[in-house]
Every structure is written in structure tokens, then in C-alpha cells.
Amino acid sequence: MARSEQWETKDPDGNAVNLPASLWHEKILQNHPELAGHVDDVLRAVQAPDVIYIDPTYAERRRFYLRGAGPSRWLLVVVSYEQSPARIISAFGIRKDPRAPWSK
């Protein structure tokens, strides 16, 4: 895929969510190279997540968690709804179960 392209999906509410190829290559893979080959999992995490939480720092962002996908136990994908269409801005694997931002 050329870096000028993008991937598209929809969240469970039917909102369009994009992942620009430039962001995938220049931010996400640069910080998390273990995600190479997992772009389909990242899109699936947004489309059919196991857990969704509002980001505790930015109310216009959501955290989508998908169990058993990507390079770890969970795949965490952060979507920003601060622009239209919404955009995937980060993704990485985590081992611990997701916890609500307000829980300790």
C-alpha cells in the first residue's frame, strides 16, 4: 500500500474511522514495530472490540480493546473523534486485562 493511502473501517456505532498509511508507518510502526503485519487486527479492534473505554485524558478519544489479537494478549487501539472522520492515532499490545479508567 502506498503511504498516501489509508485504511477505513467503522466503529460499533457506525462512525467512519480512518487509519492513514502515513500515520501507520511513521508513528505506530515506528513506536511499535511488533505490530507489523497486524493492520487487519487493528481495524478489527475498532470494528468489533471486546471492550471500549473513554480515554481518561481526552474525552473525544476512545480506547478499543481486542482480546487475542496482535502481538500480545490484548490489542489496544486509540481512536480520536476530534476530527471527522475519526482517526486511529495509536495501537499497541498489552498483557494486562483492560481496566476502566476510573478503577484502581
Q: What is the pLDDT of residue 102?
A: 60
Name the nearest CA neighbour of 69 among 47, 87, 100: 47
Higher pLDDT: 3 or 10? It is: 10
**For the chain, what percent of residues have pLDDT higher than 70?**
92
Whether residue 85 is preceded by a cis peptide bond, meaning omega within 30 degrees of 0, is: yes
Cell of 82: 476530534
Tell me the per-residue pLDDT of 21-72, one tens digit each, with 9 for 90 and over. Answer: 999 999 999 999 999 999 999 999 999 999 999 998 999 999 999 999 988 9
Domain residue extents for the chain:
7-94
Q: What is the pLDDT of residue 70?
A: 86
Q: What is the pLDDT of residue 39?
A: 96
Three-state DSSP state, 53:
strand
**For the chain, what percent of residues have pLDDT higher than 90?**
83
Alpha helix (H) ranges present in the chain? Answer: 21-23, 29-31, 39-47
